[in-house]
Amino acid sequence: MQPVRILHLENSLPDPIPADKILRSAGFEFEKRVTGNCEDFVRALNDFKPDVILSGRSVSTFGPMKALEILQNRGSSIPFILMTPGETEDISVEAMKTGATVYVLKDNIHSLPQVISSAVCSYDANEGISRHARDIATDEEMMQEAELISCSGSFTWDLNANKGRFSRGLLRIFGLPDEEKPSSFKKLFHYLHSEDRPQLRKDISLIRRGITPEKNIYRICRGETTIKYFRVEYLIKDSDSNRNLFGFIRDMTEMKAETEQLKRYATDLRTILNHTDVAYLLLDRDFRVVSYNNQAATFSLSAFGKDLQQGTSGLDYLKSHRRNFVSSVISQLRCGQTVRYETSYNISEKPEWFEVIWTGITCDSGEITGYVFSAKNITERKLNELERERKISEISARNNALEQFTYIVSHNLRSPVANIKGITSLLTEMELAPEDTFLLNGIGESIERVDEVIKDLGQVIHVKNTVTESSELLTFEDLLDEVAVFIRNSPDCPAFYIEQDFSDVPSFSGIKSYLFSIFYNLISNSIKYRRPEEEAIIQIKALKKGDGIILVFRDNGKGIDLVKNGKMLFGLYKRFDLTIEGRGMGLFMVKTQVEALGGTIEAESLPGSYCQFTINLPPANVYI
C-alpha cells in the first residue's frame, strides 16, 4: 500500500496536538508536506497532489476557511480534516458547513489514524464512481457522435419488463425530439408502414422464443408523403430469468434512393444498348462474362453456336484458330491500347462482316479491371466497298487501255498522216483532171481533220498526265490582263467588257499555264456565244473558301439548256450551238485542267439570259 500523502496547514502558534507522533505510534505510513501561506498551499495542491489535508485552528491570515474556499473554487473534493480543541467546536462546525470532511477534537485525537484512513477510502471510492460516470458520459457522447456520422441508432429492450431505452440516433431516424423519447415500442410501432408491421410482429415473436431474426428493412411513415427506410439488426442476451434485446438500426433512405437511381440508370442503359445495332459484351479482368446486351447474345449464337452465360470464360466461345489472335489483343489492351479491326464470320452459311472494337477498363491507378467487346455488322457497307473496289479496278483497267489506245493513235498515226499530207500537197501542184482535183481536195480536208484530232488527243494526254510544272506566285489581275491582250490581238475579235473583283484573293500560288488556259477558254466561249444584239459583258471574281479559292465566271450570253445538254456539257467534241464555228474542245479542256489541279467545276445557266461557271480549287493553290 502506498503511503498516504498529507498536506499539513502549519499554524502560527505551537501545535497543541502532536499529530505526527500519534500517526507514527499507530504504525500509519505517510508522507507530509507543510505549508503556511496561500501561495505554498496552491503549489502543493498541484505538485504534491495530497490524499488528505490536515488543519488546526489558526490565528494567521491563512487558515482552514481560506483553504476550503480555494478547494471549492478548484472543484476539488480532497478530504479536509480539521483538528481543534474542544473550546473551538463552533469554528469546526462552521468549517464543516463550508466543506470540511470531518473534525477531530483534542479529546479524541487518538482516533486520527482511523479518521484519515476512512476519509481517504471514502474519497477514493467516490472518485472512482465519478470517474466511471465521466467515462460512461464520454462513451455515450462518442456513441452519439458515431451514430450521427453513420446515420444509425440503437436501443435496448427488457422483454420481461417491456421497457426500452432508445438512443438519440434512433430518435433522429424516426424524426422524434429528445423530449418525446418513448418508453416502449408501442409509439415507434405506430410510425411503421402498415405493410411492414406484420413482418415486425413475426420478428418479435421469434425474439420472444430466443430466435434472432434476419436483418430486415422497414419503412417509416411521417406525414402523407415522407417515407424513410431503415435496417434492423438484433442481438439477444439472456441473463438469469431476464431476456434483453439489443437492436442496431441504420438509416437506409439515402442508400435506398441511390440504389433505386442506379437501377433506373441500369435499366435505361440496358434499354438503350438493346436497341442499338451493336453487340456489347463486358468481361472482367480474368476474361469472364459479366454482362451483355441482346445483340451480343444473338451474335454469340450465330457466330459461335453458343449461348452467352454470365461467369463463363470468354475464351470458351472462340474457335481454336482465333484464340491466339485474341490473346494478342488482350496483351495490347493491357498496354493501354484500343484494338479495332474488321473480320468475317460464317453466319447462315455465308460470310458476314463485322467491325470489332476492344477497349480496356481501368481504375484510377491505371490497373486493368475489365474489357469491353463491341461488334457491329458492316456486311452491307463492306460488300459495297468490295464492289466499289472491283469497279474502280475495272474502270482503271479500261482507262489504262483507252489511254494506251489514245497514245497509240496519237503517236503511231502521226507519221502516216504526215506522209499523206505531203503526198496530197505534191499532187496539188500537178495538173489533174477536174474530177481528180475534186477527190484530192476531199482527201486533203479529211486528212486535215484527222491531223487536228491527233493534235487534240496529244493535248488531252499531256493534260491528263501528272502535273510536272511548278507552282509560282501569281495575281489574278495580271493573269487576266495577259489573257485579255491575247484575245484582243486575235483577228476579227469583237468588243467585250470584263468586270473583275479579286479583292478577296489578291495573290495566290498556282500553275500559270493551266490557269491561263482555263481563263482563255471560258472568256473565249463567253465572247463566241454572246447574244448578237448585245456586247459581251463578263464578270470574274475570286473568293476565299476555307484554305481554298472559288473562281466565278458569269456572262450575259446565249446561255445553255442544261436540262437537255447538262450531262454532255464538258464532253469531248460536244457542241450545242451549230451556228457558231467550233470543235467542242474548250469546256472539255477546262474541266480536264481544273481536275488536274485537284478542283471541280459546276455550271449554271438560263437560256437567253446568262451562263455561269464556278470553279473550286483546293489548298494546293494557296492564296496569300
Q: Where are the alpha helices (DSSP H) in 164-252?
A: 168-174, 185-191, 197-208
Angle at 166 between CA 165 and CA 172, to 5 degrees: 165
Residue 54 is inside which H or E element, if any? strand 52-56
Q: What's the rounded Cα separation, in Å, for the pair 256 and 151?
A: 13
Say if residues 81 and 53 touch (Cβ distance below 8 Å). yes
Task: With a cut of 50, say whether residue 16 has pLDDT above it.
Answer: no
Q: What is the CA radius of gyration of the chain?
A: 56
Which amino acid, one-letter code, is at 246? F
Task: With a cut of 70, say whether residue 66 has pLDDT above it.
Answer: yes
Query: Which pTM value belongs to this model?
Result: 0.41
Place of cell 478577296: 504
The DSSP secondary structure of 410-469, one letter per residue, reads HHHTHHHHHHHHHHHHHHHTS---HHHHHHHHHHHHHHHHHHHHHHHHHHHHHHHSPP-S
Phi-psi region of 622 (alpha: psi -120 to 50; beta: other; left: phi over 0): beta
pLDDT, average across residues 475-483: 90
Contacts of 67 (CB under 8 A, 6+ apart): 9, 41, 53, 55, 80
pLDDT for residue 551:
92
Query: In terms of Cα–Cα distance, which of 50, 93, 41 is closest to 70?
Result: 41
User: Where along the chain do the CATH 3.30.450.20 domains lie?
Assistant: 151-257, 280-292+301-374
User: Where along the chain do the CATH 3.40.50.2300 domains lie?
Assistant: 4-130
Higher pLDDT pick, 513 / 418:
513
Angle at 567 between CA 565 and CA 568, to 5 degrees: 70
Say if residues 183 and 203 touch (Cβ distance below 8 Å). no
Beta strands at 80-84 and 102-105: parallel, antiparallel or unpaired:
parallel
pLDDT band at residue 543, thresholds of 50, 70 and 90? very high
Which amino acid, one-letter code, is at 406? T
How many CB atoms sit inside 10 A of residue 127's CB?
A: 12
CATH code for residues 384-464: 1.10.287.130
Pick the CATH number of 472-617 from 3.40.1710.10, 2.60.40.1110, 3.40.50.20, 3.30.565.10: 3.30.565.10
For 314-352, the pLDDT digits (tens) are: 888 887 778 888 888 888 988 888 999 988 888 777 888
For 486-509, the pLDDT digits (tens) are: 888 888 788 889 999 999 988 888
Tell me which of 86-100, 135-149, 441-455, 500-514 is least confident. Answer: 86-100
User: Where along the chain do the CATH 1.10.287.130 domains lie?
Assistant: 384-464
pLDDT for residue 13:
43
pLDDT for residue 319:
79
CATH code for residues 280-292+301-374: 3.30.450.20
pLDDT, average across residues 101-120: 73
Pick the CATH number of 151-257 from 3.30.450.20, 3.50.50.60, 3.10.20.30, 3.40.50.2000: 3.30.450.20
Q: What's the rounded Cα separation, in Å, for the pair 113 and 375?
A: 97
Query: In terms of Cα–Cα distance, which of 264, 267, 263, 283 is closest to 275?
Result: 267
Sign of the CA dihedral 294, 296, 299, 304? negative
In 475-595, which ranges are E strands? Answer: 496-501, 508-510, 536-545, 548-555
Cα-Cα end-to-end distance for the chain = 106
pLDDT for residue 538:
92
Task: With a cut of 90, say whether residue 552 has pLDDT above it.
Answer: yes
Task: With a cut of 90, say whether residue 614 has pLDDT above it.
Answer: yes
pLDDT for residue 96:
62
Query: In terms of Cα–Cα distance, which of 323, 294, 295, 318 is closest to 306?
Result: 318
C-alpha distances in Å from residue 383, one per residue of 225, 233, 322, 393? 60, 64, 23, 15
CATH code for residues 4-130: 3.40.50.2300
Angle at 427 between CA 422 and CA 429, to 5 degrees: 105
For 192-210, the pLDDT digits (tens) are: 888 888 988 898 888 888 8
Three-state DSSP at 592 gives helix
Say if residues 410 and 380 touch (Cβ distance below 8 Å). no
Q: Residue length, the chain?
A: 624
Place of cell 433512405: 253
C-alpha distances in Å from residue 331, one per residue of 10, 327, 359, 372? 90, 6, 12, 14
pLDDT for residue 624:
42
